[in-house]
Structure 1
């Protein structure tokens, strides 16, 4: 991994983890010291993050993207289609015998990790890991890349944790429905469940944001 890549991954990880809020100024000297890199590769990393929609370059640094509630809601709608597709493809691959029993076991383990998470941070982390694994099981690299960008944009620009609160029980139930559909090799059911799950999250976001 190059120094530029290290700087990119370092800043991106901090953004997604919520170390900075939308509208916060990221100062190059501070970031360079934190990451242990010089400012030249850091600037290149910030340019890549700007292209990804996570920051806007401003003087000697960058500003964390601030998106309107409607803009974030639109991202959720786009994500719903993508996640419906990846769940569908994962189920199709399982029906075709392309997924192993150990992969299905790993899928269930990730679902249980979300249910058993005891803190907000661990719940957010395990929830993303589950969604990422469903995408991985789809075997579609284009969808995986698109979702990686959308997940990051939503995390950075909304600064809102949707894994807690009154809909947590419904979230777990929807996760189980998605996993069951993949395990059963039912692509249609998996698509519907995957899309519906993210659409529900979109409505939860809209309710909390207004």
Structure 2
């Protein structure tokens, strides 16, 4: 479906920073830029507004510019939710309620994320980073927490790129992910929750 293609492409451009926060987008300019009709653009912009990546402004939309206060609140919620899901994931793993393949997938994604980030492919790193954290949330077995995190990640995903830019941050992220996976594998819920919460707060600090 063409609207899906337009939606994915616009989302990629926003996350990649091709459209700057506060930049105005209209159906006409986007349709001309992507060489498509205005109908799929209209639907794509509605979906992006639902994701929190753009907001309505007259006849068009503007790319959502997240204020420092908004990010502070968003990352506080992310920290709490990811601490919860990490603790639940570790507890479920200890109880034998997590398939071994699920943890193996997380370990594979963590290694791949390290390689991709080191290679400077931040677009792919953003996708892998989200998949890694979403994998932990799925492992937690709490659909409300997963849905809440999905919504939150949609709104703050643009900040992920900025958080990976500092030269020292990728190594720190890799170490935090490794320690988090080890705590989950050992079934240590409190430790996993603490590491996950601290990881989210460290990411926020980089963005200050």
Give how far 1:3 is off: 5.8
The CA distance in 2 between the partners of 1:67 and 1:59, in whole Å, is: 19
Alignment-derived partner of residue 184 in structure 2 = 182
The CA distance in 2 between the partners of 1:194 and 1:88, in whole Å, is: 9
Question: In structure 2, the residue corresponding to 1:49 is in which secondary structure?
Answer: helix
Q: Which runs of 5+ in 1 are unaligned?
A: none
Give how far 1:108 is off: 0.7
Q: Are the counterparts in 2 of residues 16 and 152 from structure 1 also a CA contact under 8 Å? A: no
Alignment-derived partner of residue 193 in structure 1 = 195
Deviations 1:109-157 (A, max 9, x none): 111112222114233332222112212222222222221222221233x
Alignment-derived partner of residue 164 in structure 2 = 163
Give how far 1:107 is off: 1.1
- Give the number of equivalent residue pairs: 204
Deviations 1:22-80 (A, max 9, x none): 01122212433566764345334423432442212224421101121222122111111
Give how far 1:8 is off: 4.1
Q: Are the counterparts in 1 of residues 26 and 61 from structure 2 also a CA contact under 8 Å? A: yes
TM score, norm. by length of structure 1: 0.83
TM score, norm. by length of structure 2: 0.84
C-alpha RMSD over aligned residues: 2.4
| Residue 42 of structure 2 is aligned to residue 43 of structure 1 | yes
Aligned mate of 1:135, from 134, 137, 144: 137
Q: Which runs of 5+ in 2 are unaligned?
A: none
